Amino acid sequence: MNTKRLILSPQDRGGIGKSFVATLLYDYLVEAKINIKTFDLDHANSTFKRLVPEAEFIHTDVDTDKLAVLDRLVSALETVDTVLVDNRATGGSKLLKYIEDSRLTELQKALHFDLVFVVIAVDDRDAISQAADVMDEYGKRVQWLIAKNYRDSTELTLFDNSDTRKGLLDLGAIEVEVPCLSEVTKNELQKYNLTVGNGRSSKKLHLLDQSRCVRFHAYMQNQFDTARTLLAP
């Protein structure tokens, strides 16, 4: 693998947990002392930037001929080891358009970075279909991380039995599991603009919520450790 990483989720589907997974990745990379830069492309909600204030905002609600504003993602790799991007709902197609127009997959070796696509797996046919389309298009040209989001159920039967999952695993994708976090605790984190990692010690949270954050964070650290080769140089 190359020495640097550009990590993003290319799915258009909204409401599947892209921003939440991005914050968990942020917590992991910061604790691993990886030199990172973060970007938020969601002009409508900017959920990621609220939770990660140092994230830089890039407005992508522009015509396709102006998508070179996303060059900042690549330029950032000149000064950091990993760039983490939170994409907006319905923004995946523009992000992929930029990647294709810039021939970014072909430039990975020359620019010494790997593109890592994070697929958020939920039991939603549209989300699975979108992931399949991206998989068919990019195949072995990128690295793959599957984040199985169990926030709505204890099983992901549709995804687990799908050709999409099989195809991704055949491409060498690494799977991690994102368990359900207590709704009460998640609401408190949103209320005070805290990531799970920050919630562990925030005095704004009740001790019970802090305790749930400690447990959840430790679990995710172990999960992401299994994918460390994808996430960190």
Model confidence over 78-136: pLDDT tens digits?
999 999 999 876 667 889 999 999 999 999 999 999 999 999 999 999 999 999 999 99
CATH number, domain at 27?
3.40.50.300
Q: What is the pTM of this model?
A: 0.95
Residue 125 lies in a domain: yes
Contacts of 50 (CB under 8 A, 6+ apart): 193
Number of compact structural domains in the chain? 1
Separation of alpha carbons 108 and 216, rounded Å: 34
Residue 80 lies in a domain: yes
Residue 151 lies in a domain: yes
Evaluate if residue 2 carries a pLDDT over 80: no
Predicted pLDDT of residue 91: 65
Residue 190 lies in a domain: no
194: pLDDT confidence band, cut at 50, 70 and 90? very high
Query: Residue 66 burial by CB count (10 A; 0-12/13-18/19+): exposed, middle or buried?
Result: exposed
Residue 187 lies in a domain: no
Q: Each residue of 131-168: pLDDT tens digit?
A: 999 999 999 999 999 999 998 888 999 999 999 999 99
Which domain, by its residues, includes 33? 4-181
Q: Each residue of 18-75: pLDDT tens digit?
A: 999 999 999 999 999 999 999 999 877 788 999 999 999 998 887 878 899 999 999 9
